[in-house]
Amino acid sequence: MRTVYALFVGIDDYPGRHRLRGCVNDAREAERWLRRQTGALTPVVKALHDKEASRAAVLAAVERHLGQCGRDDTALFWFSGHGSEYRTDDPREATGWAQALVCQDSLGPGGRPMLQDSELGALLDGIAAHGSHVLAVLDCCHAGGATRDLGFGPPGGTGRGVDWQPWWRIPARVREAGGADAEAARHVLLAACRPDERAHENDIDGRYRGYFSHALLGALDRLGPAAAYGALHALAEEGVRARTPFQHPQLRGPENGGFLSGDPVSAGPFLLRHTTSGWEVNCGRAHGLRAAGAEFTLMGGLASRKVVVRHVLPESCLVDPDGWQPGPRDRHLAHPVTPTALAFTPAAVTLAGDAGAVRLLSAAMAPVPVLADGGEGLPLRVDVAGGWARVSGGAGYPVPDLPLRTRADAERVVDCLAHLARWHHILELHNPDALLSSLVRVTVEGTSAGRVEHCADGEIVCGYTPDGREPQVMVRVHNDSHRQLWCVLLDLTDGYACSPHLYEGEFVAPGKAGSARHGEPVWLRLPPGRALLRGAFARDWLKVIVTENELNLAPFRLPAWPPTGPAAGPRESEAGGDGGLLRLTSPVHRRDAGGPAGHVGRWGTAQVVVRTQVT
């Protein structure tokens, strides 16, 4: 049974004109929700309301109460109150602003310092480093940066933010956890708004509540405590968007992680939800969707329900149900969907060798829309001989030969082909309109560890030190435009993996740069199994995708091939695994998706190739 150590902080009783009305209500409602969960969860709760929530008390509760968390436990930090921000020259702050939480004793003249983003983030990450799952829910202004000027608000609403006060000193920045592990344990953040926005509260059904807290707890009531973070965020975001266009909740963490556990939840790569604009899927041009006519199928036993794209935006698409009528309950859920007819060219596969094995492969490929027997797409090839299949044509490291004697073996080979096709689809993403692509760039700078050379062909070579130590580099994403942009940095390895772990999506201000790994060095090394011999190397493609709003990152998470786990088993499309763009179910009626691409929208890409080499 999982123990949840929860700290609920709600502060209304700020001095004078800064007083709020819904924060203690939010904290109490969240506590009541947690205590109602029975079975797999054992809550251990501490609450700090109003004058109890001094800076010292909040810090002590984080360190002592949440710090009790052991491996496989959960720490939940819920804060409802004021947030604030201040200008900073810290290169790790891509917007030029740092954020902080306002404790109850911070607002009077000469009050206590704020609880800074870096300070709180380091404490929560320290708990996560012990093997605990750590979640922060922040319903305050500038919450999207509060674990790391002030927009307009809705009529009658109150903003949960205050201007920086002259008596607040700025303590030294706390460096966040870093080191050789590229994906060190970090907390998950569910934030009420973006770093540059205000969060709002108002009278909702006769009680003052925060828009975000009310929407998030409503989503939890509908989906249950085991829901995936991505689905909860999607519903909470729409709940807030229905009340105000000036507040955009954020999720920082794995979309398929279970609420309060972080355990993987079986879900599709994309979500269908009902919004103020109609039915929407969080798949857009920046994911590779090119035109109206594409088809998505609902997962989880609803394979007969499909939606067809009618309009493609950079970050999402508007769809219409095809042959079925959504009911009232459908409008309040987030439905996992997978693409089953696509508006981009499938990979062109050539099969050669033993005739019987080729027939097995052809039959296994037939229901997979991202693969075709020939054509103009990515050229992949399978040569079959002696019960083994050799897959070639990818730009990465050679794929190990795969057995090919049974139908299950053939499906495994097809999974490999689809995996490579998906990886190349991400690698080759680009916007035909080069405007934004020309205004963002990725830089790789050397440190004292290792050697960095820029080759004439554009490749960046990072060499091991003479004594065999891995090179370390600083990687930054630069915004040279005159507008604020949202950027994510993907690391595509030559083992056919893709991950956004270096820079998981941040807004970058005009003329600013965001630093990978929160300003810590990026360690480069050869993958396990490659001998550290002179001349040995590995490649990474560092690709930035830039948009004006956040993207769904689930399709960009791809393990290396071969993925860990059993070599054979149920087809992932049927088992409801992490589908991404290319783990697909078969459409009952194949549809030729397409049509003119039309306006490409405001998004862009840039990339550099890094070769890590033993010199």
Contact partners, residue 287, CB within 8 Å, separation at least 6 = 429, 551, 552, 555, 581
**Do 195 and 52 share a structural domain?**
yes
**60 Cβ contact list (under 8 Å, min separation 6):** none
Taking Cα atoms as reference points, which of 523, 525, 583, 524 lies closest to residue 559?
A: 583
Last residue of a domain, one of 394, 428, 462: 428
Q: What is the per-residue pLDDT for 94?
A: 83
User: Does 605 reside within a domain?
Assistant: no
In a domain, 260, yes or no: yes
Which pLDDT score, from 0 to 100, does residue 343 have?
64
Is residue 598 one of the residues assigned to a domain?
no
- Provide block-wise average pLDDT over 10 residues at a time, the chain (615 residues): 94 90 97 90 95 95 96 95 85 81 85 84 93 95 58 52 52 35 73 91 95 97 91 95 92 91 84 94 91 88 85 94 92 89 82 94 91 91 96 95 96 96 93 86 92 91 91 95 94 96 93 92 90 92 94 93 52 33 32 40 90 92
600 falls within a domain: no
Judgement on whether residues 241 and 360 belong to the same structural domain of the protein:
no
Report yes or no on 440 lying in a domain.
no
* Domains: count for the chain: 2
Together in a domain, 34 and 147: yes
For 59, the token pair is: 């810090």
Q: How far apart are CA 546 and CA 437, in angstroms?
A: 8
Residues 135 and 260 in one domain: yes
- Going by their DSSP bridges, the two strands 83-87 and 97-101 should be labelled as antiparallel
Residues 116, 255, single domain; the answer is: yes
Q: Shortest CA distance to 83 belongs to which of 102, 59, 104?
A: 102
Residues 253 and 367 in one domain: no
Residue 604 inside a domain? The answer is no
Consecutive H or E run containing 3? strand 2-10
Domain end, chosen from 207, 242, 265, is at 265
In this prediction, residue 180 carries a pLDDT of 38
Do residue 91 and residue 224 come from a single domain?
yes
Q: List, in sequence order, every beta strand (DSSP E) within 140-277.
A: 158-159, 188-191, 200-204, 207-210, 250-252, 270-275
d(CA 261, CA 463): 40
223 and 357 both lie in a single domain: no
Which CATH number fits the domain that encloses residue 132? Answer: 3.40.50.1460
| Cβ pair 270, 240 in contact under 8 A | no
Indicate if 249 and 353 belong to the same structural domain: no
pLDDT for residue 529: 84
- Name the domain boundary from 428, 451, 466: 428
User: Does residue 224 sit within a domain?
Assistant: yes
Q: Within this chain, do residues 368 and 258 fall inside the same structural domain, yes or no?
A: no
62 within a domain of the structure (yes/no): yes
232 lies in the same domain as 373: no
Query: Which pLDDT belongs to residue 5?
Result: 97
Q: Are residues 261 and 363 in the same domain?
A: no
Enclosing domain of residue 109: 2-265
